[in-house]
A and B are shown apart, each in its own frame.
Chain A
Amino acid sequence: MSKIVMNSNAFMTRKDVVCFGVLAVLLLAVFPTVLDPFRLNLFGKYITYGFVALGLVLCWGDTGILSLGQGVFFGLGGYCMAMYLKLEASTVEATKIQSTPGIPDFMDWNQLTELPYIWKPFHHLGFAIVAIPLVPVVLALVIGFAMFKRRVGGTYFAIITQALASILTILIIGQQGYTGGVNGITDLRTLDGWDIRTDGAKLILYFGSAILLLASMVLAQFIRRSKLGRILVAMRDKEDRVRFSGYDVASFKIFVFCFAAALAGIGGAMFTLQVGFMSPSLVGIVPSIEMVIYCAVGGRTSIFGAIYGTLLVNYARTTFSEDLPQVWLFAMGALFIAVVMVFPDGLAGIYRRYVDPHVERLLGVTRKPAGQITTSDTASAVVE
């Protein structure tokens, strides 16, 4: 048995299983018992960012595609969820003071008298659930095709995705009759009749997010350990060699970009459910870059690192902004610079260097599994 687990082709080594177990215990047992409902809800919110960070590990850490537009996908997923919830909250009964009852309040304020066509399918929960990963994937597919087939990568790709984030923000804000504008879609109440605002519902949503995240991690781990994952890393480090070996580099990139987009969309939907609204402030450039930072702090090549990084950065931000509001921008800025300058592999890098040897001794492992992914000057390969 242990031999099979040690086999580097298995999708989880014994060490991974242990790491995974520790995280699962932390998310599913430790946090819910030690945190009060308010803090737990905050951690639930952080977990939704974890989905994005996880996608970035595959997309950026493994494949070397830095997307500064993950907020777009997060937002699209979140908006799909919010549209469904808003329609459910806007019953004729609840909106009877409006000039057109039965449509969302912000539409009424903007003189819309009829539900726009793009909103109509969102009456159905099933449609919304399908749309949450699908809409981001379709957009990612279009971008991916246009970009990767033409071998655009590196900094160009980063800046173009950044422009997309800015376009979508302006579009959402400008079309406020259809989108709720700057305010976003607020005052969401129930999911298929189930009140999402109570403490009990928030607890269930927390567990739902955590379990979904863990499941996504297993899936991500599976992809990374498969042959596909190896190709991704190979592309990052020497794209031309992979291409000359006969692989269709662009398709792999498109796949991984779409996968990351789908994860971000799911994260966005869970965010909407837990926080109770969605707004363009989660779509723009700033949140998109911050999500990259979470991933970088945790370690861009480690799925565990990315999750811990997300939780840690967000926890630090909340704590800093509560206790030292004037200082927190300094602290965040310094953290980003420190991560890049001193710990390019983030938390995971620190762990690998200082903690891992001890853990290995404890577990009786003597050699590194061949599938271990190491960062060797990730980004230098990216520009090529």
Chain B
Amino acid sequence: MPEAPSDRTPSSPFRRHLLMGMAALPAATLLPRLARAAEKPTAEVNTTGLAVTDDTVTCGILHSLSGTMALSETGATEAEKLAISQINASGGVLGRQIKVVQEDGASDWPTFAEKARKLLASDHCAAVFGCWTSASRKAVLPVFEQLNGMLYYPTFYEGLEQSKNVIYTGQEATQQILAGLNWVNKEKGAKTFYLIGSDYIWPRTSNKIARKHIEGHLTGCKVVGEDYFPLGSTQFNSVINKIKLTKPDVIYADVVGGSNVAFYKQLKAAGIDLKKQTLMTISVTEDEIVGIGGENIAGAYACMKYFQSLDNPNNVAFVAAFKKMFGEKSVIGDVTQAAYLGPWLWKLTVEKAGGFDVDKIAAASGGVVFDKAPEGYVRIHNTNHHLWSRTRIGLAQADGQFKVVYETPDLIEPNPFPAGYQ
């Protein structure tokens, strides 16, 4: 990059540069200015032409505000904004306040790629928090690798990927699946499984891993059916009949988006009582339950790393702050929490690396620990840029929350390329 003016200012007054945490600013000014900005001169912390000045650093948020994915991505956007405003209120990153440029991916993968390029090439963002679907991540990945940007990706996903330029703050597939299957096998004595998912890479890969685990590692267990439906599909009566015919011990569901609502409503209407029929899902969080309706899914088990109902001081503070900023009725799902980790992990990594340069961040990420995470202690894996995390199983309640019934004793190592599951 030829130009490296350390005091890059926004090129256009009309561009949407939001100074986050305006509300929190009074608190920030009350804090003693620790003269941290002076502690590290800009020329030293930014040698690659990122948008870093003596008192600000620009970051990007890239999620869908419109289109079909907006309903899922809203929570992640909110969590990232909350984290950034909290970081700003506590003095920023290396004494610099985070400025946010937000872009709309519009649920359209080429648009994601275009906006990612804009955030990196035009806005010189030091880090970008964003993307939700695998498709959007796949679309922006070459851009981040080519322009050497840093992406914090919040969604649990199918794995099979690892990049210097991405930190995956959600679980890869094995972290979410294996412990849950073991539990349901042991606690519920489940032997037969029916896999049902939306038709794209994440459910297919997840079900592949689930099938390998069920048939290869759980004794006497088998998969009695596997079905996929197009994204957005709303008719599940036929597959529900198939489920009734095969009478599986466990329905294993990774249906996503609006289809979820149709699936659970029709399941209930077809007389399948989730209190008697075990159903385990890896795709329903508190966010989805708002649309499904708590009474329609009560009794189902969800396998996640985070639930809003987690009882620890970090989470209580996080939930309170989230509700204060976005309203009492807002709910927090697994991905929302993972998105919240992004800015914090980045801040910690920058402080560890002593600068904003992407190469330094990428190198310093391994081993970064964030012990104030709502899900509890998290650590970035030493080599593969994923997070160590626990797997938890929640029982859906009629009020839309989950009751945690199981949690793995140890953090589970992320393994995006699981041997024996490919």
Contact = CB atoms under 8 A, between A and B. Distances in A.
Do chains A and B directly touch (beta carbons under 8 Å) in the complex?
yes
Interface of A: 36-38, 41-42, 45, 97, 99, 105-106, 108-111, 170, 173-174, 176, 181-184, 186-188, 197, 275-277, 279, 281-282, 318, 321-323, 325-326, 328-329
Contact of B201 (A36, A181, A323, A326): A181
B72 to A, nearest CB: 14
7 contacts: A109-B201, A173-B199, A183-B109, A183-B135, A188-B142, A276-B143, A281-B110
Interface in B337-358: none
Interface in B1-58: 14-16
Given A277-B109, A323-B16, A329-B66, 7 more contacts: A38-B118, A109-B158, A181-B201, A184-B109, A186-B141, A276-B143, A277-B142
A325 B104 CA distance: 6
A97 B417 contact: yes
Nearest to B146: A197
A37 B121 contact: yes
Interface residues of B, number: 41
B90 to A, nearest CB: 28
B266 interface: no
Nearest to A111: B208
B317 interface: no
A384 B236 CA distance: 41
B316 interface: no
A34 to B, nearest CB: 14
Contact of A173 (B14, B111, B230): B230
A176 B103 contact: no
Contacts of A109: 158, 160, 201, 205, 422
B122 interface: yes
Nearest to A174: B199
A276 B230 contact: no
Contacts of A322: 15-16, 103, 118
B201 A325 contact: no
A42 B117 CA distance: 10
Interface of B: 14-16, 65-66, 102-104, 106, 108-111, 113-114, 117-118, 121-122, 133-135, 138-139, 141-143, 146, 158, 160, 199-201, 204-205, 208, 228, 230-231, 417, 422
Contacts of B231: 173, 182
A183 B200 contact: yes
B141 A187 contact: yes
Nearest to A42: B114
- Secondary structure at the A interface, as helix, strand, loop or mixed, is helix
A182 B135 contact: yes
Contacts of B103: 321-322, 325
A279 B204 contact: no
Contacts of A181: 199-201, 204
Nearest to A320: B104
A111 B201 CA distance: 12
A174 B230 contact: yes
B17 to A, nearest CB: 11
A64 to B, nearest CB: 30
Contacts of A275: 110, 113-114
Contacts of B201: 106, 109, 176, 181-183
A97 B146 CA distance: 21
Contacts of A99: 422
A325 B65 contact: yes
Which residue of B109, B141, B146, B200 has the most chain A CB atoms within 10 A of its CB atom? Answer: B109
A279 B139 contact: yes
A88 to B, nearest CB: 15
B138 A36 contact: no
Contacts of B65: 325-326
Contacts of A174: 199, 228, 230
A109 B207 CA distance: 12
3 nearest CB pairs, A to B: A325-B104, A182-B200, A38-B121
Contacts of B102: 325
Nearest to B136: A183
B142 A186 contact: yes
A325 B158 CA distance: 30
A277 B118 contact: no
A194 to B, nearest CB: 15
Contacts of B143: 276
A97 B161 CA distance: 11
B66 A187 contact: no
A187 B113 CA distance: 11
B3 to A, nearest CB: 11
Contacts of B133: 182
B109 A323 contact: no
A33 B104 CA distance: 28
Given A106-B201, A181-B201, A325-B102, A197 B108 contact: no
B226 to A, nearest CB: 13
Contact of A323 (B14, B110, B228): B14
Contacts of B118: 38, 322
B161 to A, nearest CB: 9
B66 A325 contact: yes
A337 to B, nearest CB: 18
A164 B159 CA distance: 33
Contacts of A37: 121
Nearest to B120: A38
A281 B200 contact: no
A318 B117 CA distance: 13
A38 B134 contact: no
Contact of A281 (B15, B109, B121, B422): B109
B208 A276 contact: no
A105 B111 CA distance: 23
Contacts of A97: 417
B73 to A, nearest CB: 12
Q: Which interface residue of B141, B205, B230 has the most chain A CB atoms within 10 A?
A: B230
A197 B142 contact: yes
Contacts of B110: 45, 275, 277, 279, 281-282
Nearest to B208: A111
Given A99-B422, A110-B204, A182-B201, A187 B142 contact: yes
Contacts of B14: 323
Contacts of A318: 114
Contacts of B66: 325, 328-329
Contacts of A45: 110, 114
A174 B106 CA distance: 23
B205 A277 contact: no
Given A99-B422, A176-B201, A183-B200, A38 B122 contact: yes
Nearest to B64: A325
Contacts of B16: 322-323, 325
A187 B138 contact: yes
A97 B162 CA distance: 12
